[in-house]
Amino acid sequence: MGYDYALVHLQYTIPPAVALTFLYRPLCTSLAIYKVAFLIVIAVISTTPWDSYLIHHKIWTYPPHAILGPTLFSIPAEESFFFVIQTYNTSLLYLLLSTPTFHSIYLCGKKRLRDGRLLWLWAPLGQVFLVGTILAGLSMIVAKGEGLYMGLILAWAGPFILLLWHVRSPPVSTFESNTWRCRTLAYQFILGLPLSSTLLPIAVPTLYLWLVDTWALKRGTWVIESGTKLGLHLWDGLEIDIRQRASYLASIPKTFSYGARIAITEGLSQALARLKQKSRSFYLASGVFQGRLRIDLILLYSFCRVADDLVDNASTVEEARHWVHRLKQFLTISYDRSQRSTRSYIMSVFPESVQSALVFLPTSYLSLPPLYDLLEGFETDLNFSLPNNVFPIHDESALQIYASRVAGTVAESCLELVYHHSLASTSDTYRQEIIQAGGRMGVALQYINIARDIAVDARIGRIYIPTSWLEDEGLAPSDVLKYPKSAKVEALRQRLLDEAMEIYHEAKGAIDRLPLEARGPMKVAVESYVEIGRVLRTRGYKIKAGRATVPKLRRVMVAWKALTE
Ligand SMILES: CC(C)=CCC/C(C)=C/CC/C(C)=C/CC/C(C)=C/[C@@H]1[C@@H](COP(=O)(O)OP(=O)(O)O)[C@]1(C)CC/C=C(\C)CC/C=C(\C)CCC=C(C)C
């Protein structure tokens, strides 16, 4: 009996497991636990017979002075633990590194990789290579010579990788009322994913475990018997052993994410690109939501953004009104379940660049009133151009109504999605209380948005600060339009921020009453935006494209704090 192998774990595999658990803990969901547990079960079941065979045939031995003693099918307990901890570490690293990756957009529809490499060519190439590898492995086993160990590795790992290369998504995936034909092979998905989700989680543990292996082989903690190995060394002390690499590849959950059945790659890609380009706060927050909720929030954002932009970017008020009308018409048709012409209406009336944002709005579980009210809120913006020069936000109550229409409604829709995707059961009254608080939070965020954009809005003739507040400072709307950065306007910005913070503090407790899986991510979404308000309260904040920005590191810290609180 000895402690050598146990020490390998104590020194090299358990510390990274603890560190990765600590890092991943704020992002952990029951889905992630299921994924890791599933992979561990697969790793243990597939490796145990193979390892047991190696030990029985004395290809792989453990000196008795290096192990504690208990065995299962002749495999020392430490080695069985290795299957578990190695898979655990690699899976967690993969999950961490792929947190920002929006897997659904890599599912199908891409015949070419981004850099133009032809994907279809990879299928036969992969097949030939993997089948060749397996055959080579089998022939080395039959020859029973120095290549025996390598042969056993290739013949064992090859079929797993071949299987992964070829897993197919279901032939028909449905999303809402849209049916999309798509058959995806896993290799398309694997090759399409960013390297941070594929190569990195394989390369880092492989290199790390090579180093550990070197150390253990040198100390004699485990031994590969001579006569069964090729004798090739990557560096002094390390046999070429692709076992780790193969098992990492097999342990990466590349294919079966929650959204794996959704073949709306193109629409999702556009929605994600829109979010990434337009809102750094919500883009960061979207990374910590999981599964379908994440997808639907991104789709909701895409719809809101497109609707807002259509109205804001119109060259005349008439054109803007026209878009509001068409958007309302779109909602009416979508929610009139007897009509099946939503898609053709979208295609015939809206520009191609925005069509997918409307097609993929999940109308079957979002209610109509908040979406409709949002469009009514946009109509307020059009009143800035009325000829009588009276500004529509005349007092604080007009401001509140406006903010709850353009942002309270968005909060309501977000929360509808949270509850739709949650298994937690809550009473209607409880839910209504939360949704009401959410609406208030939306108002707070909109106040921050207005406080940030005073100068940007003034350039297009808009002032959202109530006219009555301007009067309190002895200002006329024209003063704000001309000098949006004056000391008096700055005082009004701070007054608006005070209001925003008061509402935020009132409403934020409700986030802790949300279903567990949405709490952390929702805090990240809210806190990332509120941080803009905090920045606006500090002197000498950074301006980018005319707007105050939160530095990247600070945003990440805010997200981390929100998740770990
Ligand atoms: C994580 C994720 C992807 C969330 C998506 C949230 C979402 C659907 C946002 C839509 C934003 C949008 C474009 C709305 C149109 C109207 C508008 C402009 C509203 C302002 C947003 C600012 O977005 P952005 O900075 O991109 O816009 P501009 O650059 O100014 O054009 C708003 C400030 C409203 C945002 C309000 C919310 C997202 C609601 C937040 C509240 C909750 C989620 C509820 C919290 C829960 C409780 C229980 C308190």
Residue with tokens 């500090």: 538
Is 153 within 8 Å of 137 (Cβ atoms)? yes
Q: Which two tokens stand for residue 114?
A: 């981004």
What is the CA(352)–ligand 1 centre distance, in A? Answer: 24
Write down the pLDDT at residue 211.
Answer: 79
Does 320 share its domain with 418? yes
Do 203 and 164 reside in the same domain of the chain?
Answer: no
**One domain, residues 91 and 70:** yes
For ligand 1, the distance from its centroid to the CA atom of residue 442, given in whole angstroms, is 7
**Number of domains observed in the structure of the chain:** 3
Centre of ligand 1 from the C-alpha of residue 449, in Å: 9
The three-point CA angle 392-398-403 to 5° equals 100
Residue 542 belongs to a domain with what CATH number?
1.10.600.10
* Ligand 1 neighbour 549 (Cβ under 6 A): no
Ligand 1 atom with the shortest distance to the CA of 446 = 33
Whether residue 229 is contained in a domain is answered as no
Pocket test residue of 304, 406, 453 for ligand 1, highest count of atoms within 8 A of CB: 304
Distance of alpha carbon 534 from alpha carbon 526, whole angstroms? 12
The contacts of residue 522 (CB under 8 Å, 6+ apart) are: 414, 418, 511, 514
CA of 59 to the centre of ligand 1 (A): 61
> 449 is written with which tokens?
């948005």
C-alpha–C-alpha distance, residues 34 and 339, integer Å:
40
Please name the residue that has the structure tokens 């005319």: 546
Answer whether 0.90 is exceeded by the pTM: no
**Same-domain check for residues 207 and 282:** no
Which strand (E) or helix (H) includes residue 514?
A: none
- 94 and 143 share one domain: no
- CA–centroid distance, 407 to ligand 1, in Å, is 6
Is the C-alpha dihedral spanning 552, 558, 562, 565 positive or negative? Answer: positive
Question: Within a domain: residue 335?
Answer: yes
Shortest-distance atom of ligand 1 to CA 279: 26
Which amino acid residue places its CA nearest to atom 13 of ligand 1? Answer: 305
Query: Contact 442/460 with Cβ under 8 angstroms?
Result: no
CA distances (Å), origin 60, targets 4, 159, 220: 16, 22, 12
- Measured CA to CA, the distance from residue 313 to residue 64 in angstroms comes to 76
What tokens were used for 372?
């409709």
- 278 touches ligand 1 (CB under 6 Å): yes
Tell whether 188 and 202 lie within a shared domain: no
The answer to whether the CB of 396 falls within 8 A of the CB of 469 is: yes
pLDDT of residue 288: 86
Contact by Cβ (8 Å): 83, 42: no
* Strand stretches in 4-106, DSSP E: 60-61, 71-72, 75-76
Please name the residue whose Cα sits nearest to atom 26 of ligand 1.
279
Give the residues across from 168 on adjacent strands: 185
Q: Quick one: 321 and 428 in the same domain?
A: yes
Q: In terms of domains, do 62 and 131 share one?
A: no
- Regarding whether 188 and 199 lie in a shared domain, the answer is no
The ipTM of this complex is 0.94
pLDDT of residue 217: 67
What pLDDT does residue 152 have?
85
CA-proximal residue: ligand 1, atom 27 (nearest): 279
Query: Which is it for the CA torsion 418, 420, 426, 431, positive or negative?
Result: positive
Which residues does 61 contact at the CB level (< 8 Å), separation at least 6? 55, 222, 223, 225
Query: From first to last of its 565 residues, what are the pLDDT tens digits of the chain?
Result: 667 787 778 878 899 999 999 999 888 888 889 999 999 999 999 889 988 888 887 777 777 766 788 888 888 888 899 899 999 999 999 999 988 888 777 765 444 445 445 566 777 788 888 899 899 889 888 887 777 878 888 888 888 888 877 765 544 444 444 444 445 567 777 777 888 888 888 888 888 888 777 767 666 666 655 555 555 555 544 444 333 333 333 333 333 333 333 445 678 888 989 998 999 889 989 988 888 898 899 999 999 999 999 999 999 989 999 999 999 999 999 998 766 688 889 999 999 999 999 988 999 899 999 999 999 999 988 887 666 667 889 999 999 999 999 999 999 999 999 999 998 888 999 999 999 999 999 999 999 999 999 999 999 889 999 999 999 999 999 999 999 989 999 999 999 999 999 999 999 999 999 998 899 999 999 999 999 999 999 877 777 777 888 888 898 889 888 988 7
**152 & 73 share domain:** no
d(Cα 203, Cα 119) in Å, to the nearest integer?
23
445 close to ligand 1 (CB < 6 Angstrom): yes
Residue 186, domain extent: 109-171+181-192
